[in-house]
Copies of this chain bind each other. A is one copy, B any other.
């Protein structure tokens, strides 16, 4: 039997942070430039109110539908599928508007992954796969297999999990 990999969507398959940056820059009088926004996390740059305003945009219908694909994800996942059973594991249940949008997004950008391998859940501790690739250390903490931390501005402090700086590093580790 092939080994099984579960892959998170936001900030792993999908460049969700890039979408937030775009929305912020389109907003009223942004205080930071694109370069600054690519250097530091929203938590470092924004005050509480600014953070709340930008993060609540996830509740808007359509937010999850047009997020760009993370650089390298398409090619590497296609290669991983030759060797592994690939599942998509997204904590989509927090945002009910995201459920259909994520289903449609996956069908558009990853047509080779069957709906049979989509998993939309809240708590990833119920997953039984060999690997989990995720940007949130809290999801890796409760995972029994090998957790791989996908590098992001908001997880730079973590040093408990093996950090993958890019999809190319994932390819090098797993292929």
Among listed A37-45, A124-132, A152-160, A163-171, interface-contacting one: A124-132
Copies in the complex: 2
**Complex interface: chain B residues within 8 A of A104 (CB):** 96
Question: A122 touches which one: B93, B114, B121, B144 (CB < 8 A)?
Answer: B114
- Give the contact-size bracket for chain A: 20 to 34
Residues in chain A within 8 A of chain B (CB atoms): 4, 6, 87, 92-94, 96-97, 99-100, 103-104, 114-123, 125-129, 144
Whether A117 lies near B122 (C-beta < 8 A) is yes
The chain B residue with its CB closest to the CB of A102 is B99
Report which residue of A92, A104, A123, A144 has the largest number of chain B beta carbons within 10 angstroms of its beta carbon.
A123
What are the residues of chain B within 8 A of A100 when measuring CB–CB? 96-97, 99-100
Assess A120 versus B120: contact at CB under 8 Å? Given A103-B99, A144-B128.
yes
Residues of B within 8 A of A129 (CB): 126
